Amino acid sequence: MSIQAYQTNSVETASPGELTLMLYNGCIKFIRAGRKAVEQNNIEQKNIMIQKAQAIILELMVTMDQQYEVANEILPLYEYIHHLLIEANTKNDGALLEEAERLVIEFRDTWKQVLLQSRKLQHGTGGTA
């Protein structure tokens, strides 16, 4: 199986929670690539990578389930990350990208914990009743 086929299959068979984790990881990857491009003064590549990160943050914003109270706390942080990405792109500012990356990593790590707890609740603790 090719890498592309594996990646496509991974996305198609992932749960919504796993897809969110993939989005966070992709966003981090694009921010890091954008930072590297800033360091190398590769303006075109920087723009492409940061725009990809922005698209992921926008996707997370529009797909957020507003019925949960926590959405009111998360949405402003997503908006802030999006703002950081725009500013970093227009100013070629690696420090702003670092801050955006740090925040996305925090979301990703928190989300991993949520998924682990959710799996524990779904599958119990090793079959003991």
Q: Give the range of the structural domain holding residue 48, as residue numbers without chain letter.
A: 16-117
pLDDT band at 11 (very low <50, low <70, confident <90, very high): low
Q: Provide the CATH number for the domain around residue 26.
A: 1.20.120.340
DSSP 8-state assignment for residue 64: S
Average pLDDT over residues 45-72: 94
Q: What is the pLDDT of residues 99-118, one digit of tens each?
A: 999 999 999 999 999 999 98
Residue 129 has pLDDT above 50, yes or no: no
Does some domain include residue 77? yes
Does some domain include residue 91? yes
Does some domain include residue 4? no
Q: What span, in angstroms and rounded, lies between the C-alpha atoms of 115 and 96?
A: 29
pLDDT band at 122 (very low <50, low <70, confident <90, very high): confident
**Which is more confidently placed, 45 or 13?**
45
Does some domain include residue 128? no
Does some domain include residue 73? yes
Contact 38, 46 (CB under 8 A): yes
Does some domain include residue 80? yes
Does some domain include residue 7? no
Does some domain include residue 11? no
Please, which residues have CB within 8 angstroms of residue 112's CB and are 6 or more apart in sequence?
21
